[in-house]
Amino acid sequence: MKSVRAATWWITSVMGDHDYERFVEHQNRVHPGQPVPTEREYWKARHAEADANPGARCC
């Protein structure tokens, strides 16, 4: 069971499932009192940035 949890954690981390939570933690720590975008706004901005500046990626 431990290996299943580890695999699940790894897959969700690679897919970016924890990115918004980490972003919110960062915003609250580094920019306290500033408004935090909703999760929908966060992903919209992140995908727009990736489309505007593709850089090195597989697809």
Instruction: Supply the pLDDT for residue 5.
Output: 83
Instruction: Supply the pLDDT for residue 16.
Output: 67
Residue with tokens 């580890």: 6
Instruction: Supply the pLDDT for residue 40.
Output: 96
Instruction: Supply the pLDDT for residue 59.
Output: 60
Residue with tokens 């408004």: 35
- Mean pLDDT of residues grouped by 10 in the chain (59 residues)? 80 76 96 96 94 77
User: Tell me, what amino acid is at 20?
Assistant: Y
Instruction: Please tell me the pTM assigned to this model.
Output: 0.67
